[in-house]
Chain A
Amino acid sequence: MTGRDLDPTLKRLLGSNEPEIGCDECFAQLDRYVELELAGGPADALVPGLRAHLVGCPACAEEHESLRALLELDSVS
């Protein structure tokens, strides 16, 4: 069974078996990761485990979205 077949609640319960970093390391790397993303750089290759963490951690995912959105706003203002 693949993740795509799963009910969303079961997906969130089981999580992913991809290697992932924790919340503290995510916070430590978030600025670098988002700048790499916005520059079209290899963010996932240079900061391994952060993307998987964002999938599993709603709080860190929200802060990632916000930092990205704020930098995008800065770039047009």
Chain B
Amino acid sequence: MAALGLEEWHLDLHADGARRDEAVAQLHGLLVRAARFEVFRRRGSLPQLSAVELDELAQDAADDAAVSVLRRLHDFRGESSFRTWAYKFALLEAAVKVRRRAWRDREVTLEPEHWESLAHAGPGPDDDAESAALLEAVRDGIRTALTPRQRQVLVLVVLEGVPIDVLAERLDSNRNALYKLLHDARRRLRAHVVAAGFPEVNE
């Protein structure tokens, strides 16, 4: 039997015995490479960790990614190369671990009041009255147009800069669910601003 091509070795992940073991080892090598790439790319947010500790973090991420890849092999449809598809699992695991580690000892105030001082992030003394009025409409919208949960997620993620994965962990939720809250909060806020007389804001 001819050897599998460079992009076909992953088919052996569906096999049994030694063939599968070899393919799993090859997969793990790819995932370690991607996880190390991500961890060392973001090492600026983890100045307290040594190179050895960063590498341990990458290895943990690669191990978790391998579990995810093997569990979701049936999702691979060949719309990209297998390597690219597998890489994204390792990058996700590594990125989440880096963010959570960086925030591990930082308190997240789950009932933030920061938005009350939003004016500090808004127009300066040279800005016109329209900008000031828009800022006030946004503040009013945060106060009155959002549910408490939407306000919490919007303020913590956008104004406090809490990474969404860190917040998901603290709230026992997940990234997708929190982003949906954030998306809905933004939509309500835009509608509030339009109702206050400002034109729809577009990129």
Tell me the complex Cα distance, A46–B182, Å: 25
Encode A24-51 as 1/0 by CB contact (under 8 A) with B. Answer: 1001101110110000000000000000
Majority-rule SS of A interface residues: helix
**Known A22-B179, A31-B80, A59-B175: A16·B202 in contact at CB below 8 Å:** yes
Query: Which residue of the partner chain A has the closest CB to B139?
Result: A13
Interface residues of B in 157-196 (CB under 8 A from A): 158-159, 163-165, 175-176, 179-180, 182-183, 186-187, 189-190, 193
5 extra A-B contacts, CB within 8 A, seeds A13-B186, A24-B176: A7-B122, A10-B138, A56-B179, A63-B92, A73-B37
In the complex, chain A residues whose CB is within 8 Å of the CB of B91:
63, 66-67, 70
Interface residue B85 (Cβ < 8 Å from any Cβ of A) = yes
Count class of interface residues, chain A: 35 or more
Hey, which bits of chain A sit against chain B, CB under 8 A? Answer: 1-3, 6-7, 9-18, 20, 22-24, 27-28, 30-32, 34-35, 55-59, 62-63, 66-67, 69-71, 73-74
